[in-house]
Structure 1
């Protein structure tokens, strides 16, 4: 900060109550995004797909930028870009070893297209910036409805495939041997992931999607291995990051996105510390091999 800038210029909570009334849609949208991001993130971490999240977000950004340029619904453009990315990743990366290569090829292409569309767009610069870093304070009623619909579709799809998808994510060979349709579940999850990314891009922007679709779940698995507790913690962490970041940013001149990412990262660091403390304690309390064998 410059010499003439003080903390009072950055943080000002005098009109906090009035501002809070203006962003209730944003808080609802943040809670929806936390729910979806926390649930989907469990499988992103289990299937080791953070790179895919980033790749889909770039094509989602390109679709949203194209929609902005053409003057059509940005949510629809983002959805088209995300679904297209999910399909392309599924087609080009049928084998696990090919996934990263396919994503690495398509990701810069999508980012380049998005930058081109934004360069051609002659409208408000805030709209351009929002696609990259988010614009959660600008959530209106139609956008909130569309986000709620996407969230409902994602949650319903996950409810249907949760158990077989979790089995296939943790041990695909054994799952296939047990008759789980592993090959079918993979593209289904990519489509669900595409919807979740499209939803996230509308709130936190293409550059910060990982903070909600990866970090909360990565934090949850640091403190628990329970198949029930991990998704609960992941959702709680994601909702806390989005809603908490929004509430903090209301009394600040700093954009919301840094608060969301900082809260998310702070939760992850805390969980890493808790995990490190609990791990030696768990080892100390475990029975010795000989004693365990005797029992």
Structure 2
């Protein structure tokens, strides 16, 4: 019973809800950003890059916490540095993975060093890794919304050529699409999206918002319009639902967000598997119908010895 009350306890829930209004708004905005950029992350096979950027974002936020400056600004600087390095030096997948593998431990180690030197509240340290629901004040909310608007505008401008370059980069390059420039711009947008995500769910679990919703959406449809819409719905549901559940419990926000996101993915995977199975059954039935109705003679009728 004590464990259940720690995970789910809604005593004085109405009063607590007022305290996290900014976080709920920030979470909804973050869900929109993560849902829109996630399909490109999956299409370009870059989940590993998200994790690498988040580690440098964590390092920047930790350094800002140590120096007493704006944490969001430090997180953004760290993310952009990582995104630029990955975008400029990792044009090929093999090089990109190597660069990310180098940046990740460096960023995590630097962040841990800054947190070890920080003498403030332990909750601030823990929140950078796993997220916290009361960390967003009004100035931070304004900055997060502004960054989110920039990301959405960037995606709106480059959406069509970026989709082309993500699906088939060789053909896109042959058609005159500036694939390398688009990749660099996308990395900058991804860095900004990662920076705002770290503020809510923490550096360690940012994949649950920038990758999992899109992966879930792609399990049930490949429609280029429905995929980002479903991804946004799944991401908003995960982060806002996680905040509302975490408010009633004594745990950090991240277990709730990641659990909701994972369950959505499981349901979509099951639905997608059933859809694929029904599709195969329809194809098989159609082929049997065509073969059976074609009037082809059987083996004995063709004069084949039995």
Place the TM-score, normalised by the shorter chain, in its bin. over 0.9
Structure 2 Cα separation of the partners of residues 289 and 116 of structure 1: 66
Q: Secondary structure at the match of 1:122?
A: coil
Q: Verify: 1:170 aligned to 2:167, yes or no.
A: yes
Question: Alpha carbons of 1:77 and 1:156: their partners in 2 closer, same or farther (altered >3 Å)?
Answer: same
Q: Verify: 1:288 aligned to 2:275, yes or no.
A: no
Structure 1 Cα separation of the partners of residues 161 and 6 of structure 2: 52
Larger radius of gyration: 2
Cα RMSD (Å): 1.7
Superposition deviation, residue 246 in structure 1? 1.0
Structure 2 Cα separation of the partners of residues 9 and 61 of structure 1: 28
Q: Map of 1:26-45 to 2, 5 A cutoff?
A: 26-45=23-42
Structure 1 Cα separation of the partners of residues 32 and 3 of structure 2: 37
Runs of 4+, deviation exceeding 6 Å: none
Aligned to 1:66, which of 63, 68, 72?
63
Contact 2:6 2:251 in 1 (8 A): no
Structure 2 Cα separation of the partners of residues 291 and 184 of structure 1: 49
Structure 1 alignment gaps of length 5 or more: none
Q: Verify: 1:218 aligned to 2:215, yes or no.
A: yes
Structure 1 Cα separation of the partners of residues 6 and 209 of structure 2: 29
Q: Secondary structure at the match of 2:176?
A: coil
Aligned to 1:201, which of 194, 198, 202?
198
Q: Secondary structure at the match of 1:208?
A: coil
Q: Map of 1:96-245 to 2, 5 A cutoff?
A: 96-245=93-242
Question: Alpha carbons of 1:43 and 1:18: their partners in 2 closer, same or farther (altered >3 Å)?
Answer: same
Question: Alpha carbons of 1:102 and 1:9: their partners in 2 closer, same or farther (altered >3 Å)?
Answer: closer
Per-residue CA shift, 1:17-53, capped at 9, x if unaligned?
1111221111100100100011111100000000000
Q: Secondary structure at the match of 1:20?
A: helix
Aligned to 1:92, which of 62, 67, 89?
89
Q: Secondary structure at the match of 2:204?
A: helix
Per-residue CA shift, 1:65-111, capped at 9, x if unaligned?
11111111111100100000011112221322211001101110111
Q: Verify: 1:248 aligned to 2:245, yes or no.
A: yes
Number of paired residues? 290
Superposition deviation, residue 128 in structure 1? 0.6
Superposition deviation, residue 291 in structure 1? 5.1
Superposition deviation, residue 186 in structure 1? 0.6
Superposition deviation, residue 176 in structure 1? 1.1
Per-residue CA shift, 1:219-250, capped at 9, x if unaligned?
00000000000000000000000001111122
Superposition deviation, residue 289 in structure 1? 9.8
